[in-house]
Structure 1
Amino acid sequence: MAVALRLRREGNRNRAYYKIVATDSRARRDGNFIEQIGTYDPHQEGKNFTIDLEKVDKWVGNGAQPSDRVKNIIKHARKEQGAEA
């Protein structure tokens, strides 16, 4: 089973937000998922995401492939984490 880290759409029409999930790559976009690892709200100003980097590292270490948007969110989260330290 190939695992993907990708966005799962939630919310109403014209007011969508997304959950960042680990899922089987063959599953539908909004179908079943294995584990939720964060959220993303494109309508929010400033920091518009939350993500658990420990879970990301676990999944990527096991071979999961993040989507382009999720890669970008991970990169920004690591940059923020580095600035705090």
Structure 2
Amino acid sequence: MSMKIRLARGGSKKRPYYAIVASDSRMPRDGRFLEKLGTYNPLLAKDSEDRVKMNMERVQYWLDQGAQPTDRVARFLEAAGARPKAARNNPKQAVPGKKATERAKEKAAKAAE
């Protein structure tokens, strides 16, 4: 069984509240899970200690059992010091689009004249 440590959404419309859960990866996002490991409230300030709460002993147990954290949960674990910081690289994000490059070429051609 492939296990995931991921977020399960709760809360009302436009007021999200997430539970950090260990579940089978084949289950739906808000569906059946094996254990609730913590909570995440994105509406709180980033420096608030109540924003992310995790039971680190149980999280470590599930990681030892082979559970894979999702990207967002992996960032929480990195911030808590439970995992080494992973290098992230998205070089295409900063590259301008096709129209912007065309405009830049036209501007450079006008300046060269």
CA shift, 1:78, in A, is: 2.3
TM-score where L is the length of structure 1:
0.88
Structure in which a larger fraction of residues adopt strand: 1
Q: Which runs of 4+ in 1 moved over 6 A?
A: none
How far apart, CA to CA, are the structure 1 residues paired with 2:18 and 2:75? 14
Task: Tell which structure's C-alpha radius of gyration is larger.
Answer: 2
Q: What SS class does the counterpart of residue 81 from structure 2 fall into?
A: helix
Q: TM-score, normalised by structure 2?
A: 0.67
Structure with bigger RCO (C-alpha 8 Å, 6+ apart): 1
Alignment of 1:13 with 2:16, yes or no, is no
- The answer to whether residue 72 in structure 2 is matched with residue 69 in structure 1 is yes
Unaligned runs of 5+ in 1: 80-85
8 Å contact kept, 1:51–1:77: no
Partner of residue 78, structure 1: 81
Aligned residues: 79
Gaps of 5+ in 2: 83-113
